[in-house]
Amino acid sequence: MGKTCNRCGKRSMLEGSEHCGICLCEIIEKRAEKSLAGTSPTRKLAIASEEKFSLGCVAASFIVQNTSKHVKPRIIRLPDAERLAENGTTVLTAKCSDDAAIGLLQHFLSRDAGDKECHAINVLESITEKELELYAAIKRLKYAKAKKDSLKQGIQALQSRYPGTVEALARSSRKINELMKR
């Protein structure tokens, strides 16, 4: 018997996913929309990214455009985000939960203040890189493959051995950031 989708019960054709393609896309889009729930529709919307055509940037742009209340966002470089935020632009970032976990670990390993970021809304905070790759394949999105550093490979090894590691680290990162803002 074939593997079935945990949501709709249909046969799942996606390797490495618990859902069929339709359900996975719906789940990812709902998670991203939940991140955008507090934003008001604006013509000034930008996605800040280190790499212009990265997987996260392309997927976030596609998802934001598909929500009915938002217009097409501008893609900007991360250093320009703070300046644009001060000028009334709603700034979004496109870091998936894997990136948040890596950022947290790098912060503790280097013992520095970390990246100085403006107050931006992370559209992909509850979505893993694996889910984003599947989403991009289903939606036929073209993106530039990023080089994987050794820390990211270590996180992925932990994730394969202990499922849920990435999500737990991402949650920890969000909670630590909330506590540091107080």
Residues 95-133: pLDDT tens digits?
888 877 777 777 767 655 444 555 678 888 888 888 888
The pTM of this model reads 0.71
Domain boundaries, the chain: 27-181
Contact (CB, 8 A) for 104 and 173: yes
Backbone phi and psi for residue 106, each to the nearest 5 degrees, phi listed first: -65, -40
Residues 123-165: pLDDT tens digits?
888 888 888 889 999 999 888 776 667 777 777 788 888 888 8
**Short-list 152, 49, 147, CA closest to 106:** 152
43-55: burial string, b at 16+ Cβ within 10 Å, e else: eebbbbbbbeebb
Q: 27-181 adopts what CATH topology?
A: Rossmann fold (3.40.50)
